[in-house]
Amino acid sequence: MFTRRSFSLLLILSISSFVFSQKLKKADKAVVANLQAHVSFLADDKLEGRRAGTNGEKLAAEYISQQFKKAGIQPKGDNNTWLQSFEIYDGKQVNSATHLIINGNDLKLNSEYFPLSYSANKSIEAAVTMALLEGGAPWFIDLKDVLEENKDNPHFDLDQAIIKKAEAGAAKGASALMFFNSSQVPDNLQFSGKNKLESVKIPVIFLTGDARKKYLSDESATMDIKLKVDIGNKQRTGSNVVGYIDNGAANTVILGAHYDHLGYGEDGNSLHRTNERSIHNGADDNASGTAALIELASQLKTVKSKTNNYLFIAFSGEELGLNGSKYFTEHSPIDLKTVNYMINMDMVGRLNDSSKTITVGGIGTSPSWSQIFKATDKKKSFNVKFDSSGTGPSDHSSFYRKDIPVLFFFTGLHTDYHKPSDDFNKINYTGELQILKYILSIIDASAKTGKLAFAKTREQQMSTSARFGVTMGIMPDYTFSGSGIKVDGISEGRPAQKAGLQTGDVIIQLGEHNTSSMEAYMQALSKFKKGDKAKVKYKRGNDVAETEVQF
Ligand SMILES: [Zn+2]
């Protein structure tokens, strides 16, 4: 367990910020104190890293709702509450209706048998002799030969071998396949809920060594088999927190920041490389942006200009693949056509005192941005690095995909990124105050422009592509729960576009390699080099089609 800060550290911290805040105006001091209070609450161990769908996320959502209420803005979530809830796909699970009964013995799930994650959901009753492979009955298959043949083959994939056998068996009339392993070669088989391989047509079961000894010792005996496989989706619920200032204006400015973080790193997105279970407090990522969002709500409530309405969204599920913002843009409580632009703040708490530079992304998403930034240039005490792209690894991408101009504020990566050490005491609160004021000045300057026109920008490549020589030029949809890689965006002039792939297509095979999951897709990509050609199999709607890409 990671202990976040001691009392003495807290004391030193409050003294040093007190000295600094002497130079600030009274109103600014109050904002800095508020930012500290918000980050201190959100990044406390009590919230256990605010993982989407956990109690820590709920406590954070309650806090943000209370703060929105205190700011005097109105709820704009489901049924006029603060929350907009959505389901998060959490892999597959074996439901309790699953059973295997052999000669009246109810086998124990996991210790005696388990279905494989690509098994079909079906019920079967049959009297069967193990040694016979009869049509209409389950077949028993020993993995001994295939395991021994391939025990020195590093490219051997047992799941793929089983799937091939299951497809061949189904074609010959087997009603189910019951695998076991009588060899000394370990099979390492298990039910893997994160596996996204497509289901085969018949149930596929593995019987453990225990079950094999107990029930399969006599090959010529007839067995009574009752089998039911029931595999379902595991789901958890995340919630966006949504508040609104209705100024009766025609257009609405959306301000957003994700408030979820990694929890203990259960979803595999931590960069902490030890086995010790630690809370990831996510002070910069993104308690900092959430704190800024709350303060912007309270300040925009008091401004006199009524040119825009303002919608504030604290997103959940961002760390899983922008789930919350995607859900929002598909289920918006306001007409997205009336959205003027969206401002996203993700990691705004580490303005570095020596480099004094922030990154602002999305400048290319409207021809008006450069003018607006010129008008606010004198109002900042730091440097700005501009990036034109409307996409990137945070929630503004979801709005850009709906043809809405966006801006993305970011103070940069650091060594505590996605580690338990991203803590409260490392945030530059006066720096964050400067950014907050800068954002207010941009909103103010934009009021003269009216509704901003949208412009398309280049796509930012997926971050993993740098490791490989080749890329397809697609943005995958990380929230897609089906088998394959769903295309969420396509870069102009890149291999995928040249091959005729479109947004919405699901890539299921690249060359000889299946691309059932993100891992499989990246593995497949790593097999090619520049200039190579590869067949791409993909689904468009219900059709499966094939094309060829050249890398
Ligand atoms: Zn993050």
Note the pLDDT tens digit of each residue in 293-340: 999 999 999 988 889 999 999 999 999 989 999 999 999 999 999 999
Q: How far apart are CA 373 and CA 386, in angstroms?
A: 10
User: What's the longest Cα–Cα distance across the chain?
Assistant: 90
What distance in angstroms lies between residue 456's CA and the mean position of ligand 1's atoms? 25
Domain 7-89+235-446 class in CATH? alpha beta
What distance in angstroms lies between residue 104's CA and the mean position of ligand 1's atoms? 51
What distance in angstroms lies between residue 272's CA and the mean position of ligand 1's atoms? 13
523 C-beta neighbours (distance < 10 Å), count: 15
What distance in angstroms lies between residue 50's CA and the mean position of ligand 1's atoms? 11
Q: How far apart are CA 366 and CA 377, in angstroms?
A: 18
What distance in angstroms lies between residue 5's CA and the mean position of ligand 1's atoms? 21
Residue intervals of the chain classified under CATH 2.30.42.10 are 463-550
Q: How far apart are CA 230 and CA 248, in angstroms?
A: 52
Q: In this structure, what are the phi and psi dihedrals at residue 227, rounded to the nearest 5 degrees? A: -130, 135
What distance in angstroms lies between residue 454's CA and the mean position of ligand 1's atoms? 27
- The pTM (predicted TM-score) of the whole model is 0.75
Domain 96-229 class in CATH? alpha beta
What distance in angstroms lies between residue 113's CA and the mean position of ligand 1's atoms? 38
Preceding amide of 240 cis, omega within 30: no
Residue intervals of the chain classified under CATH 3.50.30.30 are 96-229
Judge whether 485 and 521 are in contact, CB under 8 Å: yes
What distance in angstroms lies between residue 285's CA and the mean position of ligand 1's atoms? 5
59 C-beta neighbours (distance < 10 Å), count: 17
Q: Give tens-digit pLDDT for 515-547.
A: 888 778 888 888 888 888 999 999 998 899 999
Q: Give Cα 353 distance to the centre of its chain.
A: 32
What distance in angstroms lies between residue 284's CA and the mean position of ligand 1's atoms? 9
Fold designation for 463-550: Pdz3 Domain (2.30.42)
* Helix locations, 376-457, DSSP H: 396-400, 429-446
Across the chain, mean pLDDT equals: 89
What distance in angstroms lies between residue 468's CA and the mean position of ligand 1's atoms? 23
pLDDT, residue 538, reads: 95
pLDDT, residue 5, reads: 28
Sequence-distant (6+) residues with CB within 8 A of 485 are 474, 476, 477, 506, 507, 515, 518, 521
What distance in angstroms lies between residue 259's CA and the mean position of ligand 1's atoms? 10
What distance in angstroms lies between residue 308's CA and the mean position of ligand 1's atoms? 30
Residue intervals of the chain classified under CATH 3.40.630.10 are 7-89+235-446
Buried b (16+ CB within 10 A) or exposed e, 189-216: bebeeebbbebbebbbbbbbeebbeebb
pLDDT, residue 276, reads: 80
Q: How far apart are CA 545 and CA 551, in angstroms?
A: 19
pLDDT beneath 50: ranges in the chain: 1-22, 462-467
Locate tokens 């391989």: which residue?
Answer: 197
What pairing do the DSSP bridges indicate for beta strands 231-245 and 74-75? antiparallel
CA atoms within 13 A on the CB side of 507: 37
**What's the CA dihedral at 517, 475, 317, 246 to 10 degrees?**
-150
Q: Give tens-digit pLDDT for 170-226.
A: 999 999 999 999 999 999 999 988 888 888 999 999 999 999 999 988 888 899 999
* Helix locations, 358-517, DSSP H: 369-375, 396-400, 429-446, 495-498
What distance in angstroms lies between residue 318's CA and the mean position of ligand 1's atoms? 7
What distance in angstroms lies between residue 393's CA and the mean position of ligand 1's atoms? 9
Q: How far apart are CA 91 and CA 233, in angstroms?
A: 6
DSSP 8-state secondary structure symbol assigned to residue 319: G
Q: Give Cα 226 distance to the centre of its chain.
A: 39
